[in-house]
Structure 1
Amino acid sequence: MRSMAIKINVSPKDQEAINDALEKVGYPRQRRKYHCTFGFIEKMVPEEESTAFGEKIIHMLQDYINPLSPHYEVEKAAHLFGHVIAFLPTDKSLATLREINLWLSDKVKDISEGRWELNTETQSQTYIPHLTLWRTRHPDHRFDGLKVAAEMHPSYHLSNAGYVIF
């Protein structure tokens, strides 16, 4: 059985804006896509169904978010899970992100005919979708600069649905 992360990537323009913000405080630019993960399905998806399911769910998710044109407004920078530096959303942004997460949770169950669901950690009542920026166990002086930059409450457009199978 395979696992899947379902995400929405930050727009290309805002990918650059995030890299610029990181670079200003001393982090090197990254080529990976900054994104907000909206759900994980853990070890439930049969390998032979994983690609078809992934394609179907992201097309539906894209259709759902297009009229919403969601933005991730930053409240603060945080060190999460002991190894991730991330942006956390404002309350206003969090409300929209949780609506998307709830929609996704329902669609996963619907499309899979009840066979799969988002894991407990990514269910909408408890999950705070974050934007992962950097991985480190020991934040240094650059993190302090990032916390100051986050106080400006930048906003990033979430534009392209995607998935990763692992």
Structure 2
Amino acid sequence: MRFSVKSVLNTPGKSMPFRFTMDLSDVEFGGQCPAQEPVEVDGTVRNSADVLELSLRARTTLDCTCDRCAKAFRREKEISYDCLLAEEKQNEDNEDIILLEQGEFVDAEDLARTAFILGMDTKTLCSEDCKGLCPRCGADLNLGPCSCKKEVDPRLAALAKLLDQQ
């Protein structure tokens, strides 16, 4: 969503709210596309002492797969993003400033899309205490212990033999 901020550009104290939805169903994370529902974005462009501040929040429900136990689950995801908008950069080192297109337009959808993608988790877990799967038999350890016999550390094999003799 590209819109003009001309109405707040030269009016200190004025703000302009915006709201839109965007489709990220084609964006792949870790081999799957978790954002199958529309991403709802709402925000404000505010002129604070002749400085344009853009704040936005993007949220949706993700279809995820646990990286430990491979169970499918749904999780709410919300990100926030804030930046300054300027007609031209005064200081080339400041990366927090977004230049306005043609001196008055901002592409809020591009900013929200980038912020949402960068805010995605690199590891998804169904719960913080997920125990995962047994590496030998593949049993879900969240449901209980598996029936695999515990493998003895080769350095302690001699001690294990002594325990078996008793």
Hey, which of these two has a bigger chunk of helix by percent?
1
Q: TM-score, normalised by structure 2?
A: 0.24
- Rg: which structure is higher? 2
Q: TM-score, normalised by structure 1?
A: 0.24
